[in-house]
Structure 1
Amino acid sequence: MTSIAVPVTLTRSYRFELIKLLSQWRVRLLIATCWLAPALFVAVISRQSSLPADTLFGRWLHATGWAGPLVVLGFAGSWALPLLTSLVAGDVFASEDRLGTWRHLLVAVRSPRRIFVSKALASLTVILVLVIGLPVSSTISGVAVVGSRSLIGLDGTLLSPGDAAGKIVLAWLCALAPTLALAAIGLLGSVAFGRSPMGLLLPALVALAMQLVQMLPVPVAVRLALPGYAFITWNGLFTSPAQLEPLLISIAVSLIWAIAATGSALFLFLRRDFTNPAHDGSGRLAITAGLLPLVVLFGATTVVVGAPGSGISQEKVQRSVATSFAHLYRLQTQQLNRPAVTEEQLATSAVCTKGADQVAADGPGNDWRCVVSWHLPGVEAAGSAIYQLDINPLGRYVADGDGPKEVNGFFLVRTPAGDEPNPLWQFDGTIELLPSTPKG
């Protein structure tokens, strides 16, 4: 009686691939690192006298534990997440090439398509376990070591612990989209390059290239057409109102890249000649079916977004600085036990210039200068303060107080409860780069 060969079910194949991944010492080490290292990092840094003020929310690590997962997110988007996707997704197919086990796997599973889906799902599962560990570990450590206090947003708005926690969860969920795109690129590299180490390095190299492009003075449309921009646009969640348009566009772009790269990887995998043990990548087909669709996608997205210029204009800078100053002035007023005021009563405005008189007041640079003016109820003369701004091409800026000393001249202010950080001394802000209309 002849038995009929039945393909292994997807569930069994997925479980087998997941066990293979988790049995690797490298993957186990990554899991332990992602669940322990952020907690140690936040605990150590929050106890230091010198804080990473050049990192978004780094200056608030002494003030609230909710700054911890945001500092970790800023670092993870630049380095950790690209590396994790490289080590997991970038090696999931190439490992079979190095071990020469493709024919054995095909005999056992009897379905190349099922093998691909199982490996993709197993690598995605491991990546999710790694990513979840980063915010959970850093949040627990930050709240335990520093405390659950309010967090200052990127426009000076004071966020309650509950609001901060909700926005942190959303920020990390948004970061999953570009992580999926890099993981899909890792799958593509692992299939296309075979046992070559280039497949393992591809997600990290792509992420590094996207970072370099983001730091150049390129048009806004180019930034949004790259999936890595979603590692940056989560900043818009911490303004009021939230800057949702660039965030949603960047998430959509990342997910489209993830689908396109995964589809290309599947296409190459199904057309591979598994009878050739010397196979070491798909050669010319990898360029036409792997690289070319992503290049076309990048060009099409750039055209569709179509936002010209840097997106940093004088009017946007003035509005952002005035809004942040008004919120932070109210916070300083509460610290000093002065009579409460509202933003409407302050009627804050800012006049900003860039460089010399002949230089156009737009674009990034460290030569921005803003004079902020405000009014207090019952006081005839208007108050004024000076800030020097360093605005990077991504729209993030640091405003450094330059007098008067009673307002922004000192790092600490003396309050009835003791010395506290002066919120007006130096603050971070972000400018939405997409065209917008003033909110009247």
Structure 2
Amino acid sequence: MTTATTPATAPVGTEPAARRVPVSRGYRFELVKLVSQWRIRLLVLACWIAPGLFVAGVSQQSTLPADTLFGRWMHATGWAGPLVMLGFAGTWALPLLTSVVAGDVFAAEDRLGTWRHLLVAVRSPARIFVAKSLASLTVILLLVAGLAASSTLGGLASVGDQPLVGLDGHLLSSGDAAGRVLLAWLAALAPTLSLAAIGLLGSVALGRSPMGLLLPPIVALAMSVAQMLPLPVAVRLALPGYAFISWNGLFTSPAQLAPLLIAVAVSLTWAVLATALAYLLFVRRDFTNPAYDGSGRRALTLGVLPLAALTAVTVGAVAVATPSTGSGIEQDKVQKSLATVFGHLYRLQTGQLHRPAVTEAQLKATAACTKSDGQAAQEGAGNDWRCVVSWHLPGVTAVTGTAIYQLDITSDGRFVADGDGPKEVNGYFLVRTSTGDAPNPLWQFDGNVDLLDTH
């Protein structure tokens, strides 16, 4: 005879404790959701293929993007290609990529009305936020890595692994150029993260509104416009977008690291603060309201105002830490930078023409520059700088030669020097060598003025 057993039952008034989903499982789930979207897959494919094809194609053209930094050297070395791509990516590609990924990761749940299902499954708004943020970061890093790797491979495959001419005219060996290109792309990650954090903040605060998706490119555009204005250096450095520009200082000797380090620190601070604000808004949200359409006034008090206060604090900190209340573009800096670039490039031209070798110390190149024919203040950006470069040759005490340049200096310190004679030095874009005509390195070249007073 058998006896029936009664299953054990929980005590009256108690329920089994609900286990929260680990962050690792939530992260994998959110990552799969992202990469399963056709637009994300298309972006990954484009970032890993299109830059290489673009760089390879442009490098084979007779006309180069000389108005882009390092664009004039795309025929000479494959290391110029990823730098040209970085300049384009910082202005257009990266803001749009962060918008598509981070700017929509929370708003998509609002449009689909799936928050209740997600909360029931995960049982923790904080873990949902962490999982979505990490998944967005992973995809963004994958996209940036594709841009960098593809453009580098395209340049090296189409042109080769030759030395790169830096912004002060000195030659960077292939290994040195590779390291600095890598550092430049790593530095660009900082403002990319700040834009991604702004995208997260907009996606959380604005709900299903399309403005959350547009917020990163709008902020990036505003930063780009601000960098073109005659702002004091302290204000310029306090904006996170400046890290998209300040990598230029890596390609001088010695490297102009102070603006780059300040810009990276500011960008990372923006990223941390914007992410923290997005987290606070998200965990305080009322998920029981199906008609939720943004945080309204709370988005202003917990979103815009803290970022504006951070900008004011960083402006003050930079102004106190460095004497940088002006434009940073001063007459003596312009003259020193131009003379340095000319000395390095003169040696390059000497090697092309198989003349006796000469050093920068023997040349003793100097520059005398005036802005607006001396009728205005001798500082600031503009295309009205006129310079006369003088140099010596070994064994000659008097000035051996002079060359005239017209300079167009932008607000970030980059300048383009356009040769204006004599013809045999810098008045023509080609020089006649023993192997045929070659580009004249002294005809037109780029340079960089250090905006901070570091000495």
For this structure pair, what is the TM-score category when the shorter chain's length is used for normalisation?
Answer: over 0.9
2:170 paired residue number: 157
- Which residue of the partner structure matches residue 145 of structure 1? 158
Indicate the residue corresponding to 2:127 in structure 1.
Answer: 114
Alignment of 1:361-376 (within 5 A): 361-376=378-393
Following superposition, the deviation at residue 412 of structure 1 comes to 1.2
Unmatched 5+ stretches in structure 2: 1-9
Using the TM superposition, give the Cα deviation of residue 369 of structure 1 relative to its aligned residue in structure 2, in angstroms.
Answer: 0.5
- Cα separation, 2, equivalents of 1:318 and 1:112: 58
* Alpha-carbon distance in 2 for matches of 1:300, 1:406: 52
1:399 corresponds in structure 2 to: 417
Give the aligned partner of residue 44 of structure 1.
57
Residue 275 (structure 1) aligns with: 288
Identify which of 331, 348, 354 aligns with 2:348.
Answer: 331
Structure 2-normalised TM-score? 0.95
- Residue 450 of structure 2 aligns to a residue in which SS? coil
**What SS does the corresponding residue of 1:105 show, helix, strand or coil?**
helix
Shift of 1:377: 0.9
State the secondary structure of the residue aligned to 1:433.
coil
Taking the aligned partners of 2:373 and 2:395, their CA distance within structure 1 comes to 37
The two structures have a TM-score, normalised by structure 1, of 0.98
**Distance in 2 between the 1:147 and 1:357 partners?**
45
User: How far off its partner does 1:410 sit?
Assistant: 1.3
Give, as a single letter, the amino acid of the residue that structure 1 aligns with 2:369.
C
TM-superposed CA distance for 1:358, in Å, is 2.2
Structure 1 Cα separation of the partners of residues 149 and 161 of structure 2:
15
Q: How does 1:34-433 map onto structure 2 within 5 Å?
A: 34-306=47-319, 307-382=324-399, 383-433=401-451
User: C-alpha separation between the residues in 2 aligned to 1:241 and 1:302?
Assistant: 26
Give the letter aligned to residue 125 of structure 2.
P
Cα pair 2:86 2:185 within 8 Å, conserved? yes
| Partner-residue secondary structure (3-state), 1:27 | helix
After the TM superposition, which segments of 4 or more aligned residues of structure 1 sit over 4 Å from their partners? Answer: none
State whether residues 55 and 151 of structure 2, in contact with CA within 8 Å, keep that contact through their aligned partners in structure 1: yes
Residue type of the alignment partner of 2:404:
I
What do residues 297-323 of structure 1 show as CA deviations (whole Å, max 9, x unaligned)? 001111111121110000000000000
Aligned to 2:424, the other structure's residue is in SS state helix
User: For 2:329, what is the secondary structure of its paired residue?
Assistant: coil
Question: Superposition RMSD on alpha carbons, in Å?
Answer: 0.8
**How far has the Cα of 1:381 moved from its partner?**
4.2
Unpaired runs of 5+ in structure 1? none
Identity %: 72
* Higher Rg of the two aligned structures: 2
Residue aligned with 1:195, SS: coil
| Amino acid aligned to 1:430 | N
Q: Secondary structure at the match of 2:358?
A: coil
Residue by residue, what CA displacement relative to the aligned partner does 1:174-219 show, whole Å, maximum 9, x if unpaired? 0000000000000000000000000000000000000000000011
Q: What is the DSSP-based 3-state SS (H/G/I as helix, E as strand, rest coil) of the residue aligned with 1:370?
A: strand
Equivalences, count: 437
- Return the offset for 1:349: 0.5
> AA paired with 2:377?
A
Query: How far did residue 132 of structure 1 move?
Result: 0.2
1:368 alignment partner, SS class: strand
1:403 counterpart SS class: coil
- Determine the C-alpha separation between the residues in 2 that align with 1:337 and 1:303: 53
Deviation at 1:357, TM superposition (A): 2.5
Deviates more, 1:316-325 or 1:302-311: 302-311
Letter of the 2:295 counterpart:
S
Deviations 1:409-438 (A, max 9, x none): 11111122222111100000011111233x
Superposed CA deviations along residues 18-53 of structure 1, whole A, max 9, x for unmatched, are 000000001000001100110111111111111110
Q: CA offset at residue 79 of structure 1?
A: 0.4
